[in-house]
Amino acid sequence: MSGANEKLDKLAGDYKAISDKYGEGLNGKIAIVTGSNTGLGYEIARALAACGVRVFVASRNLQKGEPAAKELAEKDTSKAQVEYMHLDLASLKSVRTFAEDFRKLGLPLHILVNNASSWMVPESMSPTEDGFEYQAASYYFGHVYLTELLKDKLESSAPARLLWTTSASETLGTINWDNIELTDRTSNFATYGTMKMYGQMVARVYAKQLKSKKVSVYMGQPGMSSTDFFNPEKFSWYKPDATLQWLLQKFIGLTSEQGAWPIIFNAVAPEDQLQSAETGLSMGPEYYDTGVLQMPNITNKGLIRYQEPQNDNIKDYSTCERLYEATIKLLQRKPVVHNGPKLGNVGS
Ligand SMILES: NC(=O)c1ccc[n+]([C@@H]2O[C@H](COP(=O)([O-])OP(=O)(O)OC[C@H]3O[C@@H](n4cnc5c(N)ncnc54)[C@H](OP(=O)(O)O)[C@@H]3O)[C@@H](O)[C@H]2O)c1
């Protein structure tokens, strides 16, 4: 497949080159990128803005989101249109308000990037007001609700794309069908891996569900990239798995520009160069699979390629569908959702 094995370094971080090569046809399109005040989301928003896309920086913190949007608007081209909109994915109420505010703008939606996530948050943050473990709320339940509320927008704006930022930590995921909200677990690496696995599972379902509507769904993951995700200031140093991740990404990780490139590629490359999320494949940097951790190929940090899912739950489409249906039913029982627009095509 052409494109999939391009050297990252050729284009990662070179937003003019990305715009020159892939920007045609993107000018004036509308995108929402969650968690784009920093890290990979920031780079994804930057690439889209450089391609002439009007980008909404959807993030939970006004003090970080507004300056980031302003900076992005001025960064690469004076024509860039980047705006901040408040979205706390860990609150279903906030997700609903965000979707309602976006709809009030009367704009189409061509690209939705489900990117934001939290990692190893303090135990005091769980359960959330809606009864979810915090990481699961912020990456999984929040994004599923957001997608459900904006799905018709994507459909009516087609051709459109729905992107998920995934993670190699899906290998750690396990399902307890009696507690998919994960409140029976601590907010550790395995719980993070579980909710990232959930994301890949529903991305497969959305890809199949939306195919006939000309909404393409793609998954991309950054390997191990140097962002604030592993910033030790957010953790206690006694957490050994956090410390290990921090050290690894500092010494052998990719830059945030390199890490964002697989997801940017999913946003800008022609469809014939991409593999639908329905396949379970996720675009990402080349890495060595040690059986426990997937380590970026430090001898050649430049390659991206499709990666097969490692987790049996992702591989089995019927399990993916079961999770989607269980998730929609769970969401429908939450008061904010119950009293809001009807969700999906799953009965309550
Ligand atoms: N970095 C890596 O090596 C790596 C590896 C695999 C996968 N990933 C995935 O890449 C994605 C982006 O991560 P990153 O590395 O760019 O991390 P990051 O620099 O920490 O950025 C995460 C973004 O998500 C936002 N966020 C967190 N919780 C949120 C919530 N409840 N509502 C709204 N926004 C929220 C953060 O907002 P604040 O600024 O307010 O915290 C921030 O904007 C995540 O899905 C992560 O799982 C990263």
Q: What is the pLDDT of residue 161?
A: 98
CA 171/CA 174 separation, integer angstroms: 9
pLDDT of residue 240: 72
- With a cut of 60, say whether residue 217 has pLDDT above it: yes
Q: Give dist(CA 127, CA 185) in Å, integer.
A: 10
pLDDT in tens, 83-119: 999 999 999 999 999 999 999 999 999 999 999 999 8
pLDDT (mean) for 244-258: 81
The string of pLDDT tens digits covering residues 256-315 is 998 999 999 999 999 999 999 999 999 998 776 666 666 666 666 667 889 899 999 999
- Render pLDDT for 140-178 as a digit per residue (tens, 0 to 9): 999 999 999 999 999 999 999 999 999 989 999 999 999
User: How high is the pLDDT of residue 347?
Assistant: 42
Residues 6+ apart with CB under 8 A from 124: none
Distance from Cα 115 to the centre of ligand 1, integer Å: 7
- Compute the distance from residue 209 Cα to the ligand 1 centre, in Å: 27
Q: Is residue 137 part of a domain?
A: yes
Q: Give the pLDDT confidence score for residue 295 in this predicted structure.
A: 65
Is residue 214 one of the residues assigned to a domain?
Answer: yes
Residue 1 lies in a domain: no
pLDDT: which is higher, 119 or 28: 28
At 5 the pLDDT is: 67
Tell me, in angstroms, the distance from the centre of ligand 1 to residue 324's CA. 23
Give the pLDDT confidence score for residue 304 in this predicted structure.
85
Q: What is the DSSP string of 299-312?
A: T-TTBEEEE---SH
C-alpha separations of 182 from 167, 177, 178 in Å = 18, 10, 9
Higher-pLDDT residue of 141 and 5 is 141
- Looking at residue 17, its pLDDT comes to 93
Nearest atom in ligand 1 to the alpha carbon of residue 61 is 40
Residue 59 phi, psi dihedral angles, 5° rounding: -150, 165
Catalytic, 140? Answer no
Q: What pLDDT is recorded for position 177? A: 98
Rounded distance, CA 183 to CA 128, Å? 9
Tell me how far apart the alpha carbons of residues 35 and 41 are, in angstroms, rounded to a whole number.
6
User: Which of 59, 87, 192 gets mutated to test ligand 1 (max ligand atoms within 8 A of its CB)?
Assistant: 59
Q: In CATH, what number is assigned to the domain containing residue 60?
A: 3.40.50.720
pLDDT at 2: 46
Flag whether 320 is in a domain: yes
Asked whether residue 295 is domain-assigned, the answer is yes
> What pLDDT is stored for residue 12 in this prediction?
86
Catalytic residue among 22, 42, 140, 192, which? Answer: 192
For the chain, what is the mean pLDDT? Answer: 90
- Ligand 1 pocket test, candidate residues 34, 57, 71, 117, most atoms within 8 A of CB: 117
> In this structure, which amino acid lies at residue 219?
M
For a ligand 1 pocket test, name from 43, 60, 234, 283 the mutation site with the most ligand atoms within 8 angstroms of its C-beta. Answer: 60
Q: 52 alpha carbon to ligand 1 midpoint, in Å?
A: 24
Closest C-alpha to ligand 1, atom 10 = 165
Domain span at 97: 8-338
Ligand 1 lining (C-beta closer than 6 Å): 34-35, 37-41, 59-61, 64, 87-90, 115-118, 138-139, 165, 167, 221-222, 224-225, 227-229, 249, 259
Confidence (pLDDT) at 135: 95
**Spatial distance between the Cα atoms of 339 and 325, rounded to a whole number of angstroms:** 19
Structural domains counted in the chain: 1
Looking at residues 226-241, what average pLDDT do you find? Answer: 70
Q: What is the pTM of this model?
A: 0.95
Question: Among all chains, which residue has been given the structure tokens 């269980």?
Answer: 326
pLDDT > 90: what percent of the chain? Answer: 72
3-state SS class at 220? strand
* Cα 223 from Cα 169, distance rounded (Å): 9
Cα-to-centroid distance, 348 and ligand 1 (Å): 31
pLDDT band at 342 (very low <50, low <70, confident <90, very high): confident
Q: Which of 214, 216, 212 is nearest to 204 (CA)?
A: 216
Residue with the smallest CA separation from ligand 1 atom 37 is 35
Confidence category of residue 70, pLDDT binned at 50, 70, 90: very high
Q: Does residue 282 form part of some domain?
A: yes
How many Å lie between the centroid of ligand 1 and the Cα of residue 59? 10
Structural domain includes residue 3: no
Q: Ligand 1 atom closest to Cα of 116?
A: 24
Instruction: Please report the pLDDT score of residue 348 as a whole number.
Output: 37
343 in a structural domain: no
pLDDT for 237 beyond 60: no
